[in-house]
Amino acid sequence: MRNRYTAVIRRDGRWFVAFCPEVPEANGQGKTREECLENLAAAIELVLEYRREKALKEAPRGAEQTSVLV
């Protein structure tokens, strides 16, 4: 499944740095704009994967798990 997220990107000296407002823990940086956005995308995936795994471990016993398409 593919989702679209917002990237707020700026130049900081020689580096590009970015963050995602929808996933506050996700940040990226790179020497090029493209590298920065690739790193941000990877960070978003990691944060969401971690949150999913953590939530499933903490789910009540016997709770139903399903998907919702957004």
- The tens place of each residue's pLDDT in the chain, 70 residues long, gives 578 999 999 999 999 999 999 999 999 999 999 999 999 999 999 999 999 999 999 999 999 999 888 7
| CA 40 from centre of chain | 7
Query: Is 46 inside any structural domain?
Result: yes
Threshold 0.85, pTM exceeds: yes
DSSP 21: T
Looking at the 3D structure of the chain, how many domains does it have? 1
Query: Is 3 inside any structural domain?
Result: no
| CA 67 from centre of chain | 19
DSSP 35: H
Query: Is 49 inside any structural domain?
Result: yes
| Cα–Cα distances in angstroms (integers) from residue 42 to residues 11, 20, 25, in the given order | 19, 12, 12
Query: Is 66 inside any structural domain?
Result: no
39: containing domain: 8-58
Query: Is 17 inside any structural domain?
Result: yes
Query: Is 15 inside any structural domain?
Result: yes
- Residue 26's identity, in one-letter code, is A
Query: Is 63 inside any structural domain?
Result: no
Q: State the CB neighbour count (10 A cutoff) for residue 39.
A: 18
